[in-house]
Amino acid sequence: MKSATPKVLHTLCGRSMLGHVVAAARELSPERLVVVVGHGREQVSAHLAEIDADAQPVVQEVQHGTGHAVRIAMEAIAAQGAVDGTVVVTYGDTPLLTAGTLDALVTVHQEAGNAVTVLTANVPDPTGYGRIVRQDGVVAQIVEQKDATPQQAAIREINSGVYAFDAKLLAEGLSRLTTANAQGEEYLTDVLGILAQDGHRVGALTVADHHEILGANDRAQLAELRRIFNGRLTGHWMREGVTIVDPATTWIDVQVRLEPDAVVLPNTQLCGETRIAGGAEVGPNCTLTATVVGAGARVTNATTEGAVIGEGATVGPYTYLRPGTRLGRKAKAGGFVEMKNAVVGDGSKVPHLSYVGDAQIGEGCNIGAGTITANYDGVNKHRTEIGDHVFVGTDTVLIAPAQIADGAYVAAGSAVTKPVPAGALAVARGQQRNIDGWVERKWPGTKAAEAARAAAQQGEEAEVAEEGDAGTAGGADA
């Protein structure tokens, strides 16, 4: 991956590759779940503790192959008691593998009484994969790419690397592995040959969709896995009654939940624990992270994080809702509005060009364009409290801690520093003073000065004309 991040921690659709694999494995309700870690073990183990505290990391100090890794895992399990039943082996970089496929693998394995059952796939290009060699339709062995003959290399049925083993037979087979191969490693695939030679039954389950077994070894392959996984998610939600206008430009994390009749417009990303209720419309050009959108709400051209948007509320365009923001029913956060840790009551509107941070706004309020809650004094944050049915004029600064009681008005252009009583009008601005002729004296010869002089001349000529008209009218009366 050419990255400081271990491969299995690279993400797609809201989870790491390892996270997807662990989640699928957990759906089988295993008695124990062991993850063999090597490269980047500190980062991987820490991440594993976050996503599945009950999973056990086991360190493979030196990477001596897949068989060696599984042997280390089996030894760790055996240290906790007798190992019996079925052991499922999978890989941390195959995030498309589903719990349904793993469950089917275990079912086939146990019903057939196999010593081992391998998950296989028929792929268009088998390059790089171990080939499934069959005799009379039965799996005889798995041959790695570097050890394959030309005839074996032409086989398109490949080993996914996913197996279900009889635990005791697996332990026995692992004890007999050697490193007599092109890479000088212990191959887990050799266990299948050992068990087959001993007369044990080796079975196979061919996965219906070969994409499930795909891994990622570079960023390009990861992008392809991300595209496939996202297609699964958008397809699922459309079948659940959600309208996704352009699935190709809509990206959805696995944690997202959408209700029937929700509408998602193009160029939209739904991330984390986002919830979209029925009848809500999101997009175009939105990124919602850990956001709840109520029924019938409308969000367009917006970025939100940790916000709650009430029923019938409207957000956008070009709006930024930061964590802690809560919009009430039919509230509005309009164009070029930013909110942070702000609660906006039912029916209240912040229509445009405003910053509302660390504030409580009651019901039925109107916050004029260009309003700012000055919440930071350089050291601490302070809250602004606005009551119900308050009107705040445009270009107003509410210097926190500010309090505006119910039904009060704030005149446009005010800088409010004191509490405003209920029903009062607050006016906090200097008196206007006009200084005639200032431009021509300060900036003579400029276009502004010329325009001012021309306007003055036109005014003088208009006054003379009016005086002449008045004189003519007076003579007629006489």
Q: Which run of H or E residues covers position 245?
A: none
Look up 352 and say whether it is catalytic: yes
- CA–CA distance, 252 with 245 (Å, rounded to integer): 13
Task: Count CB neighbours of 391 within 10 A.
Answer: 16
Catalytic residue among 109, 352, 382, 389: 352
The encoded tokens of residue 401 equal 């801690």
Q: Phi/psi at 106 (nearest 5 deg)? A: -65, -40
Q: In whole angstroms, what is the distance from residue 89 CA to residue 25 CA?
A: 10
Query: Cα(first)–Cα(last) distance of the chain, in Å?
Result: 102
Cα–Cα dist 75/88, whole Å: 15
The number of helix segments (H) and strand segments (E) in the chain equals 10, 38
Residue reference for tokens 């900036």: 443
Q: Is 357 exposed, middle or buried (0-12, 13-18, 19+ CB in 10 A)?
A: buried
What is the spatial distance between Cα 297 and Cα 309, in angstroms, rounded to a whole number? 7
Helix (H, G, I), strand (E, B) or coil at 141: strand
Cα separation values, 314 from 261, 304, 321, Å: 17, 13, 12
Write out the H or E segment, with its range, that includes residue 383: none
Q: Which residues pair with 352 in a beta bridge?
A: 335
Structure token pair of residue 379: 């050291």
How far is it, in rounded angstroms, from Cα 226 to Cα 95?
9
CB atoms within 10 A of CB 403: 18
Token duo for residue 126: 């088998």
- For 252, list phi and psi in degrees, rounded to 5: -130, 130
Q: Which residues does 376 contact at the CB level (< 8 Å), separation at least 6?
A: 357, 382
Secondary structure string (H, E, C) spanning 71-133: HHHHHHHHCCCCCCCEEEECCCCCCCCCHHHHHHHHHHHHHHCCCEEEEEEECCCCCCCCEEE
Give the angle 91-93-95 at the CA atoms, nearest 5°: 100
The residues that are catalytic are 352
